[in-house]
Amino acid sequence: MRILGVDPGSRRTGYGCVEFLAGKLRYIEHGTLFVMQKEKALEDRLYAIYTELTKIIEKLRPEVMAIEKVFFAKSALSSLKLGQAQAAAIVAGKAASLSVAQYSPTEVKKVVGGYGQIAKDRVFYMVKLLLSEPVLQEGLDASDALALAICHAYAVRLQLGLSKKKQSISEALAHKAVKS
């Protein structure tokens, strides 16, 4: 499964792509979309997020997008802008027929770093460690996006493990019922 992680922002949007095969993560690509310019209106920046992510999706061909849930920012206006940037990214994913999974920053930090309140620089370090990719650059937005993709990969692995466990329990019960 190829997963595109997106850390949306109205000024910078990070993206990161990983592949999850046979329980192993493989790094594909990461980067940051710098959509802020003083002369650009918010609607132009939102359109830039949409168009640039559309190009990235066409290039990388992910099957799913993992995106950060909107959380409370420093102000209502910041939260609104963040939500709009998230919406632009989600529309790009849905236009490409991707399924979209949303995770809170705390969920991502817990999965990647083992603790929901770790600092961003520790997330960056853990992403490098988990992907065995010593050359990760581009800053914290891109590493947060990779962390989102990693979080989704582990969430899928957990769901598959639970469904296999449920299936084997169901099979055992059905087998037991046949014997009775």
Sequence-distant contacts of 103-107: CB under 8 A, at least 24 apart:
103/66, 103/67, 103/68, 103/69, 103/148, 103/151, 103/152, 103/155, 104/68, 104/69, 104/71, 105/68, 105/69, 105/71, 107/151
Mark whether 144 is an active-site residue: no
7 is an active site residue? yes
**Strand 2-7 to 99-103 pairing:** unpaired
The total number of residues shown for the chain amounts to: 180
CA distance 7 to 5: 7
Q: Are strands 2-7 and 12-21 parallel, antiparallel or unpaired?
A: antiparallel
Instruction: Look up 141 and say whether it is catalytic.
Output: yes
Among candidate residues 44, 107, 141, 144, the one labeled active-site is: 141
Beta bridge partners of 31: 15
Catalytic residue among 68, 107, 121, 133: 68
Instruction: Please tell me what DSSP assigns to residue 41.
Output: -
Which residues are known catalytic residues? Answer: 7, 68, 141
